[in-house]
Amino acid sequence: MINIDISNALPFISSKELSAIEEEIKGHHKLLLAGTGKGSDFLGWLRLPSLISKELITRITEDAAEIQSHADVFVVIGIGGSYLGARAVIEALSHNFSLLNPGNLNPHILYAGNNLGEEYHADLLGILDQYSYSVAVISKSGTTTEPAIAFRIVKEHLENKYGKLNIANKIIAITDARKGALKQMADKEGYKAYVIPDNIGGRYSVLTPVGLLPVAVAGFDIEKLISGAREMQERLFSDLSPSTNPAMIYTAMRNVLYNNGKTIELLVNYRPNLFYFSEWWKQLFGESEGKENKGIYPSSASFTTDLHSLGQYIQEGVRDIFETVLSVENSSGNLNIPMDEKDADGLNYIAGKSISEVNKKAEEGTTLAHVEGGVPNIRITVPQVDEETLGQLIYFFEFSCALSGYTLGVNPFDQPGVEAYKKKVFSLLGKKGY
Ligand code: PA5
């Protein structure tokens, strides 16, 4: 189970402020569970872990097995909430060099439609020339430009490679139940399709087929992912105390810090394969809270890498940052630093220690230095990174994000600002009606 430690943030705030906000959050918790707060028509994610049907899991598992049996590569086409959750889980659980690790992943998961890089997509087609592959095209609206372009290109490639009449069984569409261009194409062309429920927004959709299908195809256990989320759901629903409910603790602390001028939250990890988990988290909080000229700016850093680039700023720059560290207790490997007779690099003082032990000391030392430098620190600990703990973390952050949005006084489930740039781009591209 995850654990939250706020002892290194408490010195930066007053206990009076904390108690006041805790009282408020109790009300938001009630509102959330009752489904009577802002944006309540988008609460499909709230009870999702306990409601996912056995039939859906079986269907996803069977489709995944079928894809695994014939595809070397699985292309996941999607952007934002239709992409980040799957990638966060897959990268967190994968071998760090999976592309070069024969037999490790079958199929390899590649991503498309998450950018407009021409070289990126041209390189992808070059790879697809060489391997057998299947595709998932994921878009709730079914009209998002980036995945639509990528799908058009990949579909043409599939047709050229396998023949127009042989591609329907290589495409799975994950989209709205009724509307959007993708839904119409899926119906017309006879693609297999999964539904993204109406009442679940993109950034809350990782535990729907949007995340579950790619994760299952990558070979990971979606039942464990869901059961982790379900455990967290039960815990966060039943614990009504703001001093023990971890989502209430996190919400209270980050909002008091925000009220005290800490307007940037840095989600910190100490392992490279959590990089995309932070990307998912940034979308979740950024799109949920950043509105009405308010909101904590969600940022992230991967330590110790970024200590050698951002470290100076974090230590001594503008004091508007707080850190939330995603701390992992146990490491799966046991790679020790070897003894060297000559000790030319002076490292013998740590010979025999594992890299994880050194990494833990780096985490402890960095926290001490940053707290001393005026950066409050919240630590969220998981025993290890696996499907179960990732499920717990996903649900923990989703629930906290909803509570935080209510605390800030915004609707955490809409994203009116995302449309602004799209309108400008469409107008520049000459799209009808813009
Ligand atoms: O959270 C959101 O609503 C957005 O980030 C969307 O997920 C993203 O724009 C992709 O949208 P769609 O799934 O409609 O293609």
For ligand 1, atom 9, the nearest C-alpha belongs to 80
Output b/e per residue, 250-281; b: 16+ Cβ within 10 A: bbbbbbbbbeeebbbbbbbbbbebbbbbbbbb
Ligand 1 pocket residue status of 201, Cβ below 6 Å: yes
Q: What is the pLDDT of residue 104?
A: 58
Burial class (CB in 10 A: 0-12, 13-18, 19+), 318: exposed
pLDDT tens for the chain, 434 residues long, are 899 999 999 999 999 999 999 999 999 999 999 999 999 999 999 999 999 999 999 999 999 999 999 999 999 999 999 999 999 999 999 999 888 876 655 799 999 999 999 999 999 999 999 999 999 999 998 889 999 999 999 999 999 999 998 999 999 999 999 988 999 999 999 999 999 999 999 999 999 999 999 999 999 999 999 999 999 999 999 999 999 999 999 999 999 999 999 999 999 999 999 999 999 999 999 999 999 999 999 999 999 999 999 999 999 999 999 999 999 998 866 899 999 999 999 999 999 999 999 999 999 999 999 999 999 999 999 999 999 999 999 999 999 999 999 999 999 999 888 888 888 888 899 988 88
CA of 142 to the centre of ligand 1 (A): 9
Instruction: Indicate whether 197 and 139 sit together in one domain.
Output: yes
Instruction: Indicate whether 244 and 310 sit together in one domain.
Output: yes
Phi-psi region of 35 (alpha: psi -120 to 50; beta: other; left: phi over 0): left
Instruction: Indicate whether 107 and 252 sit together in one domain.
Output: no
Range of the structural domain that residue 210 is part of: 48-220
Instruction: Indicate whether 208 and 356 sit together in one domain.
Output: no
Q: What is the pLDDT of residue 105?
A: 55
Instruction: Indicate whether 126 and 236 sit together in one domain.
Output: no
Domain boundary among 183, 201, 220: 220
Catalytically annotated residues = 287, 308, 422
Q: What is the pLDDT of residue 422?
A: 85
Radius of gyration of the chain (CA): 23
The phi and psi torsions of 77 (rounded to 5 degrees) equal: -100, 120
Are the CB atoms for 73 and 218 separated by under 8 Å?
A: no
> Considering the domain boundaries, does residue 418 fall inside one?
no
pTM to 2 decimal places: 0.97
**CATH (domain of 214):** 3.40.50.10490
Domain boundary among 172, 202, 220: 220
Instruction: Indicate whether 389 and 307 sit together in one domain.
Output: yes
> Considering the domain boundaries, does residue 102 fall inside one?
yes
> Considering the domain boundaries, does residue 313 fall inside one?
yes
CA of 189 to the centre of ligand 1 (A): 23
CA of 83 to the centre of ligand 1 (A): 9
> Considering the domain boundaries, does residue 421 fall inside one?
no
Instruction: Indicate whether 66 and 25 sit together in one domain.
Output: no
> Considering the domain boundaries, does residue 27 fall inside one?
yes
Instruction: Indicate whether 69 and 177 sit together in one domain.
Output: yes
Instruction: Indicate whether 235 and 93 sit together in one domain.
Output: no
Which of 328, 271, 330 lies closest to 302, judged by CA?
271
Going by the DSSP 8-state scheme, the letter that residue 272 receives in this structure is: G
Query: Which residues lie below 8 Å from residue 420, measured CB to CB, with a gap of 6+?
Result: none
Test site for ligand 1: of 79, 185, 208, 413, most ligand atoms within 8 A of the Cβ = 79
Are the CB atoms for 254 and 378 separated by under 8 Å?
A: yes
Domain boundary among 194, 220, 246: 220
Which token pair is 243?
């001093």
Ligand 1 pocket residue status of 287, Cβ below 6 Å: yes
Q: How long, in residues, is the chain?
A: 434
As for how many domains the chain has, the answer is 2
Instruction: Indicate whether 203 and 327 sit together in one domain.
Output: no
How far apart are the C-alpha atoms of 372 and 389, rounded to whole Å?
31
Instruction: Indicate whether 205 and 234 sit together in one domain.
Output: no
| Helix ranges restricted to H, 75-168 | 84-93, 118-130, 145-162
For ligand 1, atom 8, the nearest C-alpha belongs to 80
Ligand 1 pocket residue status of 80, Cβ below 6 Å: yes
What does the pLDDT look like over 65-108, one tens digit per residue?
999 999 999 999 999 999 999 999 999 999 998 888 766 557 99
> Considering the domain boundaries, does residue 427 fall inside one?
no
> Considering the domain boundaries, does residue 424 fall inside one?
no
CA of 139 to the centre of ligand 1 (A): 7
Pairing of strands 73-77, 133-139: parallel
Going by the DSSP 8-state scheme, the letter that residue 171 receives in this structure is: E
Ligand 1 pocket residue status of 82, Cβ below 6 Å: yes
Instruction: Indicate whether 201 and 311 sit together in one domain.
Output: no
